[in-house]
Structure 1
């Protein structure tokens, strides 16, 4: 389940819902370092894996999110094996990578209270890269084969946009591209996931053997749920007027 509100309270509420993973998004949501830190702290006591998506595949940002204590990152817009290699390098200390060393200042090391953190940090880090373009689909096998890429997450929305059918995640060409990517990642022996808010699509991908699926988001659930509640009690004309503010 995605957590996009930027609220630690909502993150904690969602973390207790029973999902396997809680996806804290900093790419398309009002999240910065401080709010992601608060949400990581809020969900820590629950049996869900917190997954954080930085806004971009950037060495400095990846270092900062890891230092906050995020252990599983989903890196967006990975189009090639070189992009995937850059993400992996950013997540690991030298000599394997280029992650800057500041463990004495970082929650990830419990401020150096974790013995041998610097030598063991790689054991705690999971890197998932996103395939979400036609170029990435063509390079899926090479991306998945990169050493240090633990899994691949497929984003049909941006994929549809890159294929010229924006907003049509269920377009046959998009579905075929997703299926092609799933097969390529599976053949590489890596975990593969997909975003699918529609139940029929989610179950279809689960039947294909994907390992994880994003099936909903806090803000979407609140939007649709509040609309449904209003529809029961508010005249339709009044509801439409309330939903169209003159300005922001």
Structure 2
């Protein structure tokens, strides 16, 4: 009997009557990915852009979370055609591409995820986990059903072009990144500056008007609620490494007495 692949993140969003809530997995650890997969959250973002993650690590994390009711979205480091081919072939069904600033760039990444004649994705399904080594019936003919593509809106230029980007055929949704957006606006590190928040909300409204789902990164619960109220349909509310960093700091603050003088601790 032919194998069936999991529904895509596009399918999850279209079938949900509420916003979908997720978290980053940035550690590169399949074990931590599996722990997060069993949390009850809707989706995980496995980050290949700012994390120590390569193809083998992504594969191991996808395998680790496959048995849980959670959808993995994988962020590529760029829109490079070869990288996208490799990500898709190892079994990434839901792809997020950063720094998409124009309609032309969006069309480029759409082409990278589609087979000829509609795109330029290299054909290697018999060798690839994507098609389960040709155990998925008619994978080549149905590949568009098995892959969802999301692009990141994270510069001032991208916000200005948000409607054109989101409207490209083959773009299934957009994700707004306040951190890089703030940097592009000359407000590095000020994700909650009023001008940045206004730009994020503007992008959300614009993308919603195109009929495409839109997500956003918001670790601050107050900002998450604000962006959800603006129309965001999926949101990231934490990260594995951030949760570990803050929790371990809290343990140290609770159990280790504060320094009583300015003498530095010995370092060995």
| Same fold by TM-score greater than 0.5 | yes
Please name the residue that 1:144 is paired with. Answer: 166
Are residues 1:112 and 2:134 paired? yes
Which structure exhibits the higher relative contact order, with contacts defined as CA atoms closer than 8 Å and separated by 6 or more residues? 2
CA shift, 1:149, in A, is 0.4
Mapped partners of 1:236, 1:37: distance in 2: 43
Which segments of structure 1 move beyond 2 Å, counting only runs of 4 or more?
none
1:33 to 50, 55, 66: 55
CA shift, 1:209, in A, is 2.1
Please name the residue that 2:119 is paired with. Answer: 97
Mapped partners of 1:142, 1:168: distance in 2: 27
Root mean square deviation of aligned Cα: 1.6
Mapped partners of 1:206, 1:159: distance in 2: 18
CA shift, 1:95, in A, is 1.2
Please name the residue that 2:207 is paired with. Answer: 185
Are residues 1:212 and 2:222 paired? no
Please name the residue that 1:11 is paired with. Answer: 33
Structure 2 unaligned residues grouped into runs of 5+? 1-22
| Correspondence list, 1:163-242, <5 A | 163-237=185-259
1:123 to 145, 152, 156: 145
- What are the superposed Cα offsets for residues 137-178 of structure 1, whole Å, 9 maximum, x if unpaired? 110010011000000000000000000000000111101111
Structure 1 unaligned residues grouped into runs of 5+? none
TM-score, normalised by the number of residues in structure 2:
0.88
- Equivalent position SS for 2:159: helix
Mapped partners of 1:79, 1:38: distance in 2: 31
CA shift, 1:245, in A, is 7.2
CA shift, 1:207, in A, is 1.6
CA shift, 1:115, in A, is 1.2
CA shift, 1:70, in A, is 0.7
TM-score, normalised by the number of residues in structure 1:
0.95
- Equivalent position SS for 2:44: strand
CA shift, 1:237, in A, is 2.8
- Equivalent position SS for 2:137: coil
- Equivalent position SS for 2:238: coil
